[in-house]
A and B are shown apart, each in its own frame.
Chain A
Amino acid sequence: MDSMDAIKQTYFQECDELLASLEEGLLALEAGEGDNDTINAVFRAVHSVKGGAGAFGFEPMVAFAHVFETALDLMRSGKLDPDPDVLKILLRASDVLADHVQAAKGEGVVDDARARAMSEALEALTSPDQPRGALAPAALEAPVADQWGFTPLKFDLEDAAPAQAGWRLVLRPTAAMYANGHDALLFLRELGRLGECKVSLDASRLPDLAAINPEKPYLDWSVELPGETPESAIRDVFDFVGDDCPIELTRIEPAPPAPFLTPDIVKDVMAASTEPLEPSAPDKAGAGSDRANAKTATAGGATIRVDLERVDRMIDLVGELVINQAMLAQRVAESDLARSSTIAMGLDELEQLTREIQDSVMAIRAQPVKSVFQRMPRLVREIAGTTGKQVRLVMEGEGTEVDKTVIERLSDPITHMLRNAIDHGVESPEERIDAGKNEEGTVRLAALHRSGRIVIEVSDDGKGINRPRVREIAVKKGLIAPDENLTDDEIDNLIFLPGFSTASTVSNISGRGVGMDVVKRSIQALGGRIAISSQPGKGSAFTLSLPLTLAVLDGMVISAGEQTLVAPLTAIVESLRPKSAEVRRLGPTGAVLAVRGGHVPLIDIGVALGLRQTPIDPTAGVILLVESEGGGRAALVADEIQGQRQVVIKSLEANFQRVEGIAAATILGDGRVALILDVESIIEKRLNERRENAPLAKAS
């Protein structure tokens, strides 16, 4: 059972990749960038998903993939134009196929009605090509589902039978031919070089599975070749097999009768048997495929799957190496060795190497954000569908690399921001036309690196933030005073306040009681920041920036109560040495700091962490002005600031447990463990201790 499960897991992993390349291919076709290779790749993706699904007995998935595949096969053979309408259906079909895969994983359910509607839409795609001639009755016959819910799709292989003269060749391979190592596929390929062939398989001699003799040939092929092919050229193909493969070559005259009816199975077997032809087909390197080749080269480079734990272990080890190297360097510096001594020079080289190793190991975990981005087109299609809006998603910078741990956590915020952009930003087609815009809205999702951080931008060309409405809601909900004087930016930022939601009706898309405050909080938890800018009538843009990795953190190294601590730089708004006039006592123990017209509670870090009983005089220490979720601010009092440093984040939970007020630990250059402050929880605890009815801090 275990090994079967393992195989299944591998199959699901492959499915995810195949579905991704399927969607990618369809999107490329939609953008008019695809060529035959793209169509082939798309077909193969569906075909492989179907193959595995059959092996594992996921019948509904097989049935659906089969219909899907049929449509793609028609496209492949040029009988179905990849026009935008067709592609829209195919893209939605790929969504349904993804649902099937999820369902097979046991992680979701397939909306039956939707799947059925999709199957019908796909079948409709394949039928208009049917000739309305003699075979029409057969084509119109409603497909009958068999006992497995497998809906056979009837289409006529001979529909495009040449009206002009041609050759019909019937191949009847013998057991001797296969025994001599020949392969019927090779002949078919050779014939393919002579001109466009129509190949049909005659599987009528194929017995029941139980009766099959593996050494006996059961399959015959019938090939139609164009009339201008010389007879000798056709016979030459079979020159070296002689009687092992008897052929019947007949000249066919124009307007032939339908040669023979092929059972449905034929098409299936054909699809399977023609597929291996493609990768090695001689004209593969032909015109127009360069681009696709280049693509496969990047996508299909030699890769291996590695357990993340192993990589993490390696990162840990390199972290130790860096610390060890720093300690060694310190010892050498302390000794009286000359800088030019071989030891000191060797140490310099070691330092170089260590840094390079560290960079390369971090690069192993770096992944392009594509894995998150590629899920978004579907989301946009679905939201656009439910809201009745027309939206085009433009994605940029999918290749931007960021640490895997960050990637995993990007998905939710991006999803939320896209939902917001479509639900609240983009107008309905009518509104857009009235406003003189294209009826199709554009939502842009971009990733880029900026000063050691990854920046994700989600922008739309919608109506922008309705500031009077935002203000009205904020006043109504008591978030701001009615007469409060706010700049446009400050109003825009109100949407990040907890409990704020502009949707007047709770739609099932973005307004679920949780709003942008949740997005902001989750991003801050990662050491990131989020900003918004908006222009009425022109659209709005969310910009979020995150550290490239969650393995290291930019921190302010401080000391409090004889301990060295690290405060995450992202939480710190500013640091200052207060003048005694700025520190005001409030109540028996409390104190506040007067800063720029506001009063911010003072929190002594040493006391908050239980490192000392009585707070130090704030004017003797340093104050870190920090901002917590929802913009709440506090002034943390430390003894002194030692400096700013990038530190490697070490989990406390791995060997111990969560400690209140502490986010994680790190190891400093002297080999000692230093704790990283959890600013949020320190402030929260403080506020809980003194439940003052303080107004919510101004969002700024």
Chain B
Amino acid sequence: MTDGDIVNETFELISFRIDSQEFCLDIMAVREIRGWTVATPLPHSPSYVRGVINLRGAVLPILDLKARLGLGAAEPSARSVIIVVHIGKRLVGLLVDGVSEILAVDRSLIKPTPNVGCETVSRFVRGIVATEGRMISWVALDDILPAEEQVEAA
């Protein structure tokens, strides 16, 4: 990405709600959105790893985004969806309550994450989208998998 050169660069973001907060993801990272199916739990995994499901023959890990963002464990219902995203070469499913809309956002509307003294926020929020009086947190996916954490812990 060429920083700053293009003034009118717009991003397409997909937004969703967790409790009262709004979050969004870069639509380019999203491969598909599918309904919730019960996941097979993985042993010895952090609580936000719901388990794995079968995505057309591939084994897809499901992360509870709510739990990952430190907002408590999600209670999946029939309305819950899984957003399948690319993270590097991996495909990962994110469990959310439901997607709201697709936003086309000008780059100028994306603000740096304010420092609220919370490690989870600085780690998982890439920026803040301020539009129509709403505040939407852009979720950073790079660090969302537990891999590094476990290696460090061990």
Contact = CB atoms under 8 A, between A and B. Distances in A.
Contact of A652 (B44, B52, B91, B145): B52
B47 to A, nearest CB: 11
A610 B44 contact: yes
A169 to B, nearest CB: 68
Nearest to B45: A659
Interface in A629-674: 650-652, 654-657, 659-662, 665, 667, 671-674
B30 to A, nearest CB: 15
Contacts of B145: 656-657
A563 B59 contact: no
B52 A611 contact: no
Contacts of B92: 655-656
B61 A655 contact: yes
Contacts of A319: 57
Contacts of A654: 58-59, 90
Interface string B35-47: 0001111111100
Nearest to A668: B54
B57 A317 contact: yes
Given A662-B43, A674-B40, A656 B54 contact: no
B43 A673 contact: no
B59 A673 contact: yes
B53 A673 contact: yes
A671 B38 CA distance: 11
A563 B41 CA distance: 8
Given A611-B41, A661-B43, A672-B40, A655 B56 contact: no
A657 B59 contact: no
B58 A611 contact: no
Contacts of A655: 58-61, 90-92
Interface residues of B, number: 25
A317 B59 CA distance: 13
Interface in B11-50: 38-45
A545 to B, nearest CB: 28
B146 interface: yes
B43 A665 contact: no
A102 to B, nearest CB: 31
B59 A610 contact: no
A247 interface: no
A299 to B, nearest CB: 36
Which of B54, B56, B90 counts the most chain A CB atoms within 10 A? B54
B1 interface: no
B153 interface: no
Given A655-B92, A657-B145, A320 B44 contact: no
A323 interface: yes
A226 B6 CA distance: 85
B7 interface: no
A673 B44 contact: no
Contacts of A30: none
Interface string A665-691: 101000111110000000000000000
A673 B55 CA distance: 9
A81 B100 CA distance: 84
Given A659-B42, A662-B43, A673 B57 contact: no
A316 B53 CA distance: 15
B147 interface: yes
Which of B39, B41, B146 counts the most chain A CB atoms within 10 A? B41
A611 B43 contact: yes
Contacts of A651: 59
Contacts of B40: 563, 665, 672-675
Interface string B74-100: 000000000000000011100000000
Nearest to B52: A673
Contacts of A316: 57-58
Contacts of B61: 655-656
Contacts of A563: 40-41
A609 interface: yes
Nearest to B63: A656
A610 B44 CA distance: 7
A563 B52 CA distance: 12
A524 to B, nearest CB: 22
Contact of B90 (A656, A660, A665, A667): A656
Contacts of B60: 655
B59 to A, nearest CB: 5
B43 A652 contact: no
Which of A651, A654, A673 counts the most chain B CB atoms within 10 A? A673
Which of A320, A323, A667 counts the most chain B CB atoms within 10 A? A667
Interface string B123-135: 0000000000000
A461 to B, nearest CB: 49
B43 A656 contact: no
A667 B147 contact: no
A609 to B, nearest CB: 4
B52 A320 contact: no
Given A611-B41, A661-B44, A656 B56 contact: no
A654 B145 CA distance: 13
A667 B44 contact: no
Interface in B131-145: 145
Contact of A610 (B38, B43, B52, B90): B43
Contacts of A667: 54, 57, 59
Contacts of A611: 41, 43
Contacts of B58: 316, 650, 654-655
Contacts of A671: 54
Contact of B42 (A317, A323, A650, A675): A675
A610 B45 CA distance: 9
A667 B54 CA distance: 7
A654 B43 CA distance: 17
Contacts of A661: 43-44
Contacts of A659: 42-45
9 nearest A-B residue pairs (beta carbon): A320-B57, A609-B43, A656-B61, A673-B40, A665-B59, A650-B59, A610-B43, A655-B90, A667-B54
6 contacts: A320-B56, A655-B58, A659-B43, A672-B38, A672-B53, A675-B43
Given A655-B60, A656-B92, A672-B53, 9 more contacts: A316-B57, A316-B58, A320-B56, A608-B43, A650-B58, A655-B58, A656-B52, A667-B59, A671-B54
